């Protein structure tokens, strides 16, 4: 009997494995255990079931592409290549894909529902409704205890605190969730809000599965007001996202997209107010300038100015008049000399000089022209040409 060497036998086994089509592209289902991430970054673990166990390795490069990593005690479906390692005398599954058990089914179901609803035109962009720019009432459909709701309330409080908020509470994962979400959407649709935020924080495909439910999708379509979906993280796309009027990458983003920024609006209102003030200021300045111009013109016509002019005019006239009078006077003076002489001869002085006297009563200065003007012992003042004499009557007799 010819014996093979260990090496030869091992090589033979390896060859068999390497040629087998199934082993080069196989899906295996089992429970993971002894999961270890080496310093190198490679993962080493065991997949087992009650009857057998399988040694596994996942290289660092492949591990980086996975959404799930091996976990002790958890069931997985894994894809890879089975190969033998002669040096260690063992065979191993080199894993390039890890799915938690059932995941493969979920993906297929997702694609099925997506295709069905798409064919009905429910994803049509033309279907999507415009969001109200200034929503007065905002509806929230989510779990009341979840962090996602707190995030949304914070954003709404910061951006658009004026809106009234209404919460329709619901489970957001598990088998009971889809029907509750449907009921919540129907209730919020009747509540008279302007927009609905359908939100849920991040999670696995299983966690978010309720939002891929066909019944939830139809409830979103039937909702009388626009629905904004904010489910999971940026990379998660759910059926709800496709039928919603607007898809937000996260719950907080849903709150941002549904509301205007009150701060920015305040700035704009203040800006318009400033424009108003400036416009009026300009108009009033213009009017004031016009008024000043009119006032100047008015001043020029004012009576005070006229009076001064008249005064000037009068003074001039006065001067002219004086000149004229002076001239006239010289003329008259020469004629006056002759008149003066004639006047002098008729004066009382000339009469007195001829010997006549002017007699007056002492008591009241009355001129005595008749005997009747004096009584007995009447005081008299006699004026002669060069002075006065005091006298008293001693008697009288009428002659004429």
Partner 1 sequence: MSDIPADAPLDFEAAYATLEESVRRLESGTLNLDEAMTEYERGVALSSRCSQLLEAAEQRVSQIVVGGPQPIPGDPGE
What are the residues binding partner 1 (CB under 8 A)? 133-134, 136, 140, 143-148, 153, 156-157, 161-162, 164-174, 176, 179-180, 182-184, 186-188, 191, 200-203, 262, 265-266, 268-270, 272-273, 275-276, 279-280, 283, 287
Return the number of the residue (267 or 347) whose C-beta is nearest partner 1: 267
Please state the closest distance from residue 110 (CB atom) to partner 1, in A: 20
Tell me whether residue 77 or residue 142 sits nearer to partner 1 (CB atom): 142
Q: Shortest approach of partner 1 to residue 91 CB, angstroms?
A: 40
Check: CB of residue 234 under 8 Å from CB of residue 173.
no
Q: Any idea what DSSP says for residue 128?
A: P
Q: How far is the CB of 192 from partner 1 (least distance, A)?
A: 10
**Shortest distance, CB of residue 35 to partner 1, whole angstroms?**
25
Min CB(32)–partner 1 separation in Å:
23
Helix 214-222 vs helix 103-119: crossing angle, to nearest 10: 30
How do beta strands 90-100 and 75-85 pair?
antiparallel
| Rounded least distance, CB 168 to partner 1, Å | 5
Nearer to partner 1, 93 or 155 (CB): 155
Q: Under a CB-based contact definition with an 8 Å cutoff, are residues 164 and 137 in contact?
A: yes
Other residues' Cβ atoms within 10 Å of the Cβ of residue 314: 10
Our CB check for partner 1 shows the closer of 67 and 150 to be 150
CA distance 151 to 146: 9
Q: CB–CB of 191/136 below 8 Å?
A: no
Nearer to partner 1 among residue 61 and residue 290 (C-beta)? 290
Residue 30's DSSP bridge partners are: 76
Sheet containing 387-392, strands listed edge to edge, beginning at the edge strand earlier in sequence: 358-361, 379-384, 387-392
Looking at the Cβ atoms of 265 and 324, the one nearer to partner 1 is 265
Half-sphere exposure in the Cβ direction for 165 (13 Å, CA): 21
> How would you label 253-281 residue by residue, b for 16+ Cβ within 10 Å and e otherwise?
bbbbbbbeeeeeeeeeeeeeeeeeeeeee
Question: 247 near 236, Cβ under 8 Å?
Answer: no
Q: How far is the CB of 314 from partner 1 (least distance, A)?
A: 45
Quote the CA–CA distance of 58 and 69 in Å, as a whole number: 10
Distance (Å, whole) CA 367 – CA 361:
6
Largest CA distance in the chain: 226
Q: Minimal distance in Å, beta carbon 167 to partner 1?
A: 5
Closest to partner 1 by CB, 17 vs 165, is: 165
Nearer to partner 1, 140 or 223 (CB): 140
**Burial category of 10 from C-beta neighbours within 10 Å (exposed 0-12, middle 13-18, buried 19 and up):** middle
Which is closer to partner 1, CB of 32 or CB of 208?
208
Least Å distance between CB 265 and partner 1?
Answer: 6
Q: Are 76 and 30 in contact, with CB atoms under 8 Å apart?
A: yes
């Amino acid at each position: 009997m010819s014996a093979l060497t260990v090496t030869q036998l091992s090589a033979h086994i390896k060859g068999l494995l390497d040629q087998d089509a199934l082993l080069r592209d196989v899906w295996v289902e089992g429970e993971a255990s002894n999961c270890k991430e080496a310093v190198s970054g490679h993962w080493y673990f065991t997949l087992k079931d009650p009857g057998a166990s399988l040694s596994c390795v996942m290289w660092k490069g492949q591990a980086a592409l996975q959404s799930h990593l091996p976990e002790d005690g958890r069931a997985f479906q894994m894809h890879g290549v089975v190969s033998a390692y002669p040096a260690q005398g063992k065979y191993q599954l080199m894993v390039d894909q890890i799915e938690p058990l059932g995941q493969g089914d979920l993906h297929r179901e997702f694609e099925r529902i997506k295709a069905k609803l798409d064919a009905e035109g429910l994803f049509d962009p033309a279907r999507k409704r415009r969001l109200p720019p200034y929503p007065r009432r905002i509806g929230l459909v989510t779990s009341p205890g979840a962090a996602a709701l707190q995030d949304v309330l914070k954003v709404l409080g910061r951006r658009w605190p004026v809106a009234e908020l209404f919460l329709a509470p619901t489970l957001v994962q598990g088998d009971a969730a889809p029907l509750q979400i449907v009921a919540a959407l129907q209730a919020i649709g009747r509540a008279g809000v302007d927009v609905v935020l359908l939100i849920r924080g991040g999670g696995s495909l299983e966690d978010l599965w309720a939002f891929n439910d066909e019944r939830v999708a139809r409830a979103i379509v039937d909702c009388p007001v626009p629905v904004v979906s904010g489910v999971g993280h940026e990379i998660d796309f759910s059926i709800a996202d496709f039928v919603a009027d607007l898809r937000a990458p996260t719950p907080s983003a849903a709150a941002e997209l549904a509301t205007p920024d009150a701060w920015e609006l305040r700035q704009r209102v203040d800006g318009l107010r400033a424009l108003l003030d400036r416009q009026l200021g300009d108009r009033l300045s213009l009017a004031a300038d016009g008024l000043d111009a009119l006032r100047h013109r008015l001043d020029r016509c004012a009576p005070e100015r006229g009076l001064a002019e008249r005064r000037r005019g009068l003074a001039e006239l006065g001067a002219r008049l004086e000149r004229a009078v002076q001239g006239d006077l010289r003329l008259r003076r020469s004629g006056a000399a002759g008149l003066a002489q004639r006047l002098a001869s008729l004066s009382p002085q000339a009469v007195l000089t001829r010997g006549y006297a002017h007699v007056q009563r002492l008591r009241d200065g009355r001129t005595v022209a008749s005997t009747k003007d004096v009584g007995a012992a009447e005081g008299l003042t006699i004026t002669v040409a060069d002075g006065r004499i005091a006298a008293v009557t001693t008697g009288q007799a009428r002659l004429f």
